[in-house]
Amino acid sequence: MSTFMEEYKRKLITPEQAAKLVKSGDYINYAEFTSFPAEFDKALGKRAGEENLVNVAIDAAGSVRFPEVVKNDPEMKTFTYYSAHYSAIDRMLGDQNRISYYITQYHDLQKIRGEAVQPWTKKNLSCVLTAPMDKHGNFNFGITTSDTYAQLKNSDLVIVEVNEKIPYVMGGYMESINIKDVDYIIESNESVFLMPDSTKISPASQKIAENIMPMIEDRAVLQLGIGGVPNAIGAMIADSDLKDLGIQTEMFCDAMTAMYEAGKITNKYKRRDVGRSIFTFCFGNKKTHEFLHKNPQVAGYNCDYTNNPKNIAIEDKVVSINNIIEVDLFSQVNSESDGIRHISGTGGSLDYHIGAWESNGGKGIFAFESTYTDKEGKVHSRVRPTLSPGSIVTCPRTLVHYLATEHGIVNIKGRTIWGRAEAVISIAHPDFRDELIKEAQAMKIWSPTNKIAY
């Protein structure tokens, strides 16, 4: 340890010194989500407007802090900013045309960013947030394993920003980097992003969860997204008779902590990582962070391991539950945009939907509230004749398995166009069904006899 500490001290620099290493034309990696390097960003942001610093690109994802490199550079004379998945902060920047979306499926990030398959993804410098160095000289990536290691490997210069508030998450692989592979170290005491504690679940989310629950069997392997439906499902599972459930997920959420506490998660019957839940990042509250810290029941893996559909399909009875924005009568699913306005990203939604279908006994479920209310108080249907103009097709109709709303759950796989239209309309809000039927008839995707067998 003394040798590692000596090396640590030699490589320790200030955030300002680290920021000075950035040159014009550099491509910088900020990593993703909670790995956002706050002190480095603040120091680099102060260099905005320098005459000898131009055309610096920043690659991030799901910004949990407002980036100083953007805040201090309103005309983007020095920095350009990119995100592989939009957060609320990124959406706001998108509305101002100050950010661009980095298009990818989540599991592809490992290959695209980390293996230099595309030469324009190689980074000149990476700075990522880590847990403190352990006695073996390792810096653990904590709750954001993702493609972090791959990006560092594909960078000319590696800087870690150490923060004691980061949970130390046991790993499968690519969950840490050794000091011998680190060029510089900076230290941070910034607060780490925590999901707000919330037990409030809307009646619609509660009903959707009730519709999904019968689809989950003993020994099922779960992937849950974020929001009210996963929280409701977690609470229901905790109070259910289900047993020996497993977890293979991209995001570890608070609902999973609740299921662990209720003794529902054992991972005993998984084909890989027996006895352990695997994930690649976490958005959780303080309780979940404490649960993950040095807990051998969980393991952080890179995003290709957790999200590659081939790996997901290895497990039996995978149940994947993800939210969507809208679906049309052809069963095309949009999970990432409101028309041309970018909202989130493809993320792992498609990865897990495909993997769950390929799993023996698996189920891919897109869950959503059937309506939403706009700023003027008008109610709109999320089931539409066709997707809103400019909307992105996240999941093509050929791949959609189950759709669930508060009004029911339907299996779309293998249905005809007529059958799809009828099935989708059956889970729309009743107030919109007659109009949707008229639209389907006009589009000639409604059976003349209204007797659909398939």
For residue 302, the 8-state DSSP code is B
Give the separation between CA 181 and CA 291, rounded to whole angstroms: 29
**φ, ψ (nearest 5 deg) of residue 142:** 65, -125
Is 250 known to be catalytic?
yes
Active-site entry in 161, 250, 326, 336: 250
Query: Residue for token digits 């005459």?
Result: 51
Compute CA distances 283 → 32, 136, 329, 388, 402, whole Å: 12, 28, 33, 30, 25
Tell me the pairing of strands 79-83 and 100-101: parallel
C-beta separation of 58 from 28 below 8 A: yes
Give the separation between CA 453 and CA 422, rounded to whole angstroms: 10
Give the separation between CA 286 and CA 194, rounded to whole angstroms: 6
Query: Residue for token digits 């659909």?
Result: 452
Catalytic residue positions, numbered: 250
